[in-house]
Amino acid sequence: MKCSRYNNDVQLDDTIVAISTPPGRGGIGVVRLAGAEAYQIAMQLLRLRSNRELQAGHAQFCELIESASGERIDEVVATYFAKPHSYTTDDIVEISAHGAPVVLRHIVDEAIACGARLAEPGEFTMRAFLNGRLDLTQAEAVRDLIESQTLFQAKAAAQQLGGALSKRLKPIKQMLVELIAVLEAGVDFAEDDVSVLPDAEIVKRIAEVRAPLVKLAESFAYGKVVHEGLTLAIVGRPNVGKSSLFNQLVEREHAIVTAVPGTTRDLVSETVSLGGIPLKLVDTAGIRESMDEAESIGIRKSYEALADADLVLVVVDASASAADIEDARLLSAMEDRESSVIVVENKVDLAKAGSTAKSNGMVSVRTSAITGEGIAQLRSEILRQVVGDGSGQREAGFLTNARHLGLVNESLRGLEAAESAVRNRIPHEMLLLDLYSSLRPLDAITGETSADDILNLIFGKFCIGK
C-alpha cells in the first residue's frame, strides 16, 4: 500500500486516527489518535469511571460510548501521552478495546466524525521523523522490528532504532565536515593568509574518512543475510535420507519419510532460525532418471530449487560400498556453483568402518539423520558458510538496507573523486564539490537531506497505524 501524502504539503497540525493492531479478531485491539485534538476527541468517546480527566502517562479504565447517545459499547483502557513525551511528539491517546473488528472500526468512525482523519500508512512514524523524534534510519528500523522473524533480527532492529547506525556515521561525517571547513576557509579567506592544508595532509584525511566507510559497506554482506535470510536446498538421489535430514534440521516430523525411493514428489519448505538468521530449508525430490510423470515434475522442481538456493546440501549415502554414478554426477555439477555447497555424507550409522569419503574434496559433514549423529556439526557448518567466522560482523550499526549501501558507495565515489582531484592538483573549489558529493549521501541516510520521493518509498511500505 503506497502513501500519497508525503510531499511538501504534508499536514502536521491535524489529528489522525488508525487501528494499530493487526487485522482480525483478538483479545485486545488498539486504536491510536495523534495530534492537537487527540485528547478532546478521545474524551467524546469515553466515559471515565473515577477521574474527570485522563492523566498523562497513566492507563485508565473507561467505558467506550456512542458519542451521540452516550450508550455504552465496551469497557476499555485509555492511555494518554502528552506532548512532547510521545512517539510522534504530539498528544497521543491509545484506546485498548476488546479486539472485535466492529468495535475498533466504530472507534475509528466516531473519531473521524469528531474531527480526526484516517492516518495514511506509516504516518505515525512519519510524524515522529518530521518532528525530530526519530531520524530516518530509526524510522526504517521500526519497520524492520515489526517484520522480524527471529529474535536476533529484532535485536538488530532495536539497535538501529536506538540510533546505532547514526552513531557509527557521526564521527565519519564529523571528519569530513572538518576537512570541508578547513578547505572552505582557505578558499574564502585566501587574502588573509589562512593556512591551507598541504596535498599530502588532504589525502591523509580523505583516507581516514574512507577507511570506516569501506568497513561499513563491507558489513552489508552480513547485514543483508540477517535482514533477509537465506534459502538452503537439500538435494540428492532418492533414498539417501534427505527428508529425514530435513526433519532433523526443522526439529519436527514435517516431511514424509518412507523406505520407498521417490517418496518426495514436490518441494517441502520450512523456515527456521539458525544463529538468529532466518533460513528457509527446502526438501526436494530425489534426482534420478524417471519415467513417472509426477516424479519427473518433482525432479524438475528440484533443479529449479537448486538454481535458486543460496546454499546447497548435497546428501550422499555414506553406507554405500561404492560411489554411485548419480552422486558423482551431482557432485561434479556442484563444483562450478558460485554459492556455497556442503556435502552431507548421511547414514554413517550404517557405514562400515574405514569407509572412504565421497565428497570429491568439497566441504563435508558426516551425519546420521536417524540417530542425530553429526547434526550439531552440520548446523555449525551451515552457519559458518552463511556468516563466515563472524569476526567483527556483529558490531553495532551494520548495514541491513540496500538504500543505505547505495548511499555509502556513492559517498565513497565522492571521496575517490576528491583524492583524484588532489593528486591532479585541481583547484580546491572543485575539490570541495567532490567532498560535498561525499557528504550529501551520508546526510541522506539519516534523513538530513532526504527528498520527498525517498520518504514516499520508505514510509509507503508501512501499514496503517504504525
Give residue-wise pLDDT tens across range 283-296. Answer: 887 665 555 555 56
Q: Based on the domain organization, do 236 and 360 belong to the same domain? A: yes
pLDDT bucket at 462, cuts 50 / 70 / 90: low
The count of other CB atoms within 10 Å of the CB of residue 207 is: 11
Assign residue 413 a region (left: φ > 0; alpha: ψ between -120 and 50; beta: otherwise): alpha
Residue 256 has pLDDT above 70, yes or no: no
Q: Compare 2 and 53 and report the one with higher pLDDT.
A: 53
Query: Which of 49-58, 94-103, 356-365, 423-432 is the least confident region?
Result: 356-365
User: Per residue in 65-89, pLDDT tens?
Assistant: 987 788 999 999 999 999 999 999 9
Residue 337 counted as domain residue: yes
Percent above pLDDT 70 for the chain:
80
pLDDT at 264 over 60: no
Which of 135, 150, 185 is the C-terminal boundary of a domain? 135
The verdict on residue 147 lying in a domain is: no
Query: Residues 190, 245: one domain?
Result: no
d(CA 309, CA 315): 15
- Are residues 239 and 378 located together in one domain of the fold? yes
Question: Does residue 466 belong to any structural domain of this protein?
Answer: no
Tens digits of residue pLDDT in 379-421: 999 888 887 765 445 567 889 889 999 999 999 999 999 999 9
Residues 246, 360 share a domain: yes
Check whether residue 131 and residue 46 sit in a common domain: yes
**What mean pLDDT do residues 222-233 have?**
87
HSE toward the beta carbon, residue 145, CA cutoff 13 A: 16
Tell me which of 354, 387, 420 is where a domain ends: 387
Q: Which CATH number belongs to the domain containing residue 204 in this structure?
A: 1.20.120.430
Position 259 in a domain: yes
Contacts of 209 (CB under 8 A, 6+ apart): 172, 175, 176, 179, 415, 438
Query: In the predicted model, is pLDDT for residue 454 greater than 90?
Result: no
- β-strand partners of 30: 96
41: CATH: 3.30.1360.120
> Do 121 and 139 contact (CB within 8 A), yes or no?
no
> pLDDT tens for residues 141-167?
998 888 888 888 898 889 888 989 999
Higher pLDDT, 29 or 339: 29
**Are 123 and 25 found together in one domain?**
yes
Higher pLDDT, 276 or 217: 217
pLDDT of 260 reads: 44
pLDDT band, very low/low/confident/very high, at 318 (cuts 50, 70, 90): confident
46-48/26-34 β-pairing: unpaired
User: Does any domain span residue 338?
Assistant: yes
Identify whether 31 is part of a domain: yes
My answer on whether 296 and 182 are in the same domain is no
Confidence of residue 358 (pLDDT cuts 50, 70, 90): low
Q: Which pLDDT score, from 0 to 100, does residue 98 have? A: 94
Q: Answer whether residue 107 shows pLDDT above 50.
A: yes
pLDDT score recorded for residue 113: 94
- Does residue 167 contact residue 445 with C-beta atoms inside 8 Å? no
Does residue 241 sit in the same domain as residue 363?
Answer: yes
Q: Are residues 317 and 262 in the same domain?
A: yes
Reply yes or no on whether the pLDDT at 277 is more than 90: no
CATH code of the domain in which 268 resides? 3.40.50.300
Rounded-to-integer distance, Cα 112 and Cα 321, Å: 76
Query: Is 341 part of any domain?
Result: yes
User: Considering the chain, what percentage of its residues have pLDDT values greater than 90?
Assistant: 35
213 and 233 part of one domain? no
Dihedral class, residue 318 (left if φ above 0, else alpha if ψ from -120 to 50, else beta): alpha
- Residues 459 and 7 sit within 8 Å (Cβ to Cβ): no
Q: Using the 8-state DSSP alphabet, how is residue 53 labeled?
A: S
Structural domain that includes position 242: 229-387
Question: Which candidate, 74, 403, 417, places its Cα nearest to that of 220?
Answer: 403
On whether both 125 and 168 belong to a single domain, the answer is no
Average pLDDT of the chain to the nearest whole number: 82
pLDDT at 253: 65
Q: Are 102 and 180 in the same domain?
A: no
* Structural domain includes residue 122: yes
Q: Is the pLDDT of residue 281 over 50?
A: yes
141: phi then psi, degrees, rounded to nearest 5: -70, -30
Domain count, the chain: 3
